[in-house]
Chains A and B, each alone.
With several copies, the nearest count.
Chain A
Amino acid sequence: MAASIAEIERLIAELEEQIELVKRRTREQGEDRNDAIQALEGQLTRLLEQTYANPTGWDRTRLARNPKRPFTLDYIRLIFSDFLELHGDRLRADDGAIVGGIARLNEQWVTVIGHQKGRDAAERHQRNFGYARPEGYRKALRLMRLSEKFHRPIVCLVDTPGADCSVGSEENGISESIARNLHEMFLLRVPVIVVIAGEGGSGGALGIGVGDRVLMLENAIYSVIAPEGCAAIVWRDARRGEEAAEKLGLTAHNAHRFGIVDEVVQEPLGGAHRDHDQAARTLKTALERHVSELQALDTDTLLEQRYARFRRLGVFQEGPAG
């Protein structure tokens, strides 16, 4: 699209304000302004449709990173009931950047695990901006094993800019913690459903990203490297992230095209941040369907299919034996 998303979002915000104003006047003064309201709302819808008809990879990146977007704990609150958060890796810490616990999806007990970004400054700090540490991946693995022990499906919500790469995380084995999870998640004898819900940042995303089904929200991104990082390497200019975003194919559509994602989950018009309830309802419906499909499989088939699903990922040419 031509205009920058920032400009258009300002326009959208102005329109919404106007609509709110007219509605308030209607209430306060009792006059019938329904026509005006409908006209404005039509205008808004058209603008949203126009704007998000064909968003670029960079548009999606901005949407995926929108701080008003629903986070893992929002989805948990809106989709599941009886959530009981469980803490700690039983080794050395409780990482706030990954949350997890037990909860019910309707009548079905499951384990839910996800990256958690923070909304305000204090929570962002506590959550390390969603950059998970080794302790987070190890907590996730502990909870997955707990779920396996009691034959409960696992739902993983991915939303991280990447794994934490501080000196402390290197000292505590950030590589090992992600690698271990990849290894173990292929052996879990219960259904695992992964949802790329916001930012799917590289190894930090994949560290809880192995499952029988991988769903991806329409405006989420999933990438081997942040576009800015890619630009810094290719063009030695981190500001060319927009260009890199296009090259990297980080959209749900692209991930689906290569079989990396099984299903793209629709978001409310304009993005999940515009209607948390609606986003959660759509996701819940998808989760219900996949949980029930996967529970119908016997464990050996489940594991065989999970292996095969990832086994075929890759694009190469095979010539005559040389």
Chain B
Amino acid sequence: MAHGWFGRKKIPAAGAGAGAGIPEGLWTQCPKCKEVLFAREWERNLKVCLKCHHHFWLTARERIEMLVDPGSFAELDGSLVSANPLDFPGYADKLRRHGEKTGLTDAIVSGEALLGGHPLTLAVTDAHFMRGAMGSVVGERLTRAVERATARRIPTLLVSGSGGGARMEEGLLSLMQMAKTSAALARHNQAGLLSIVLLTDPSLAGIMASWGSLGDILLAEPAAQIGFVGERVSAQATLGKAPANFQSAEFQLQHGQIDLVTPRKDLRDTLQRLLAFAGNASAGAAA
């Protein structure tokens, strides 16, 4: 699996995962255990802390590079960009700032690729861009990726790093993306095709109440925050007595919501077994 994913080009900032005060480039600090890590080693370890196994955030492009067969990814629908249908104050500016910061046109990258030789479509949300919140562009790109998989009778892989859930700046239109993406998955499912959802830190709210919960298989990275109510809202809600691991991947596993908690290094192997199990859908009608 180690084909030097992060050695080949300039690494984007690791966002919320990057330690503060440590000169970037040679060293990075683990925000969880505070260990100072040699950057090349940390990158070779898929941006997982060598000491405490903390899984740092990845950008959507890093994630794709890590998961799919080298050189196989072809991006689609990159030309879709957000409008500001409600003239929500500050939204246009926010979009521009986040675009500049991340080099993305919105909080998602989607396209086609091969994984272990299996063709699939994929869509990956990126928490560095407005915490991955789902507006019209996220919903549309993801829906197109799923629809394309249905049309081509291939699996789809959806990766969530969507801490914001819905994008309130787009109001109800944002909420409707939950229905739209679920509709696309319903058709993909009805066509007998495999969908896999990978939940990474953070995966919350509207994402989880729609496509984030709708894979045939749900995988999660260790310790990823996964839940219905986001941080700020939950601080206002009466939560009752929450267990220590509340809304962690492990909590969701224990409560039957996900199939597996899979360390980053095992993801490709796990995905390949699942793809092999599902087989070739177009030839799969034999019992």
Q: Mark A residues whose CB is within 8 Å of B.
A: 82, 84-94, 102, 109, 135, 139, 146, 149-153, 163, 165-176, 178-180, 182-184, 186-187, 189-191, 202-203, 206-207, 209-210, 222-225, 229-230, 232-234, 238, 247-250, 254-255, 258, 260, 295, 297-299, 302, 307, 310-311, 313-322
Q: Is the CB of B171 within 8 A of A179?
A: no
Which B residues are CB-close (under 8 A) to A315?
83, 85, 136, 170, 173
A263 to chain B, nearest CB (A): 16
Contact of B260 among A86, A165, A182, A318 (CB under 8 A): A86
Highest count of chain B CB atoms <10 Å: which of A191, A206, A316: A316
B150 to chain A, nearest CB (A): 11
**Does B151 reach chain A (CB closer than 8 Å)?**
no
Q: Can you offer 6 A-B residue contacts whose CB atoms are under 8 A? A: A88-B259, A94-B256, A151-B286, A166-B239, A179-B211, A314-B139
Number of A-B residue pairs with CB-CB distance less than 8 Å in the complex they form:
264
Give the 9 A-B residue pairs with the shortest CB-CB distance, closest first: A88-B256, A182-B182, A314-B136, A175-B208, A179-B213, A315-B85, A313-B176, A178-B209, A165-B229
Which A residues are CB-close (under 8 A) to B273?
82, 84, 102
Q: Is the CB of B183 within 8 A of A307?
A: yes
Q: Is the CB of A260 within 8 A of B172?
A: yes
Contact of A190 among B105, B238, B287 (CB under 8 A): B287
Q: What is the CA–CA distance of A224 and B210 in the complex, to the nearest angstrom?
A: 14
A104 to chain B, nearest CB (A): 8
Q: Mark B residues whose CB is within 8 Å of A.
A: 78-83, 85-86, 88-89, 105, 135-137, 139-140, 143, 166, 168, 170-180, 182-187, 189-190, 192, 194, 205-206, 208-214, 216-217, 227-229, 232-234, 236-243, 246-247, 253-260, 270, 273-274, 276-279, 284-287
Known A102-B274, A223-B172, A225-B168; 19 more pairs at CB < 8 Å: A84-B260, A86-B217, A150-B194, A150-B279, A151-B285, A166-B238, A173-B213, A179-B178, A202-B206, A203-B206, A206-B209, A247-B88, A247-B89, A248-B171, A307-B187, A310-B180, A314-B139, A314-B176, A314-B177
Contact of B257 among A169, A175, A202 (CB under 8 A): A175
Which B residues are CB-close (under 8 A) to A229?
233, 236
Q: Is the CB of B257 within 8 A of A176?
A: yes
Chain B residue with Cβ nearest A301: B287
Chain B residue with Cβ nearest A229: B233
Which B residues are CB-close (under 8 A) to A295?
286-287
Q: Is the CB of B205 within 8 A of A203?
A: yes
Chain B residue with Cβ nearest A255: B172
Given contacts A165-B229, A176-B213, A207-B209, contact A187 B172 (CB under 8 A): no
Chain B residue with Cβ nearest A233: B232
Q: What is the CA–CA distance of A94 and B194 in the complex, to the nearest angstrom?
A: 22
Chain B residue with Cβ nearest A152: B277
Which B residues are CB-close (under 8 A) to A307?
183, 187
Chain A residue with Cβ nearest B240: A167
Which A residues are CB-close (under 8 A) to B246?
167, 170
Which A residues are CB-close (under 8 A) to B242?
167
Chain B residue with Cβ nearest A190: B287
Given contacts A170-B246, A183-B189, A316-B83, contact A175 B227 (CB under 8 A): yes
Q: What is the CA–CA distance of A135 and B190 in the complex, to the nearest angstrom?
A: 25
Which A residues are CB-close (under 8 A) to B88?
247
Q: What is the CA–CA distance of A152 and B246 in the complex, to the nearest angstrom?
A: 35
Contact of B171 among A109, A250, A298 (CB under 8 A): A250
A295 to chain B, nearest CB (A): 6
Contact of A250 among B172, B205, B238 (CB under 8 A): B172
Q: What is the CA–CA distance of A186 and B253 in the complex, to the nearest angstrom?
A: 27
Q: Is the CB of B179 within 8 A of A210?
A: yes
Which B residues are CB-close (under 8 A) to A299?
287
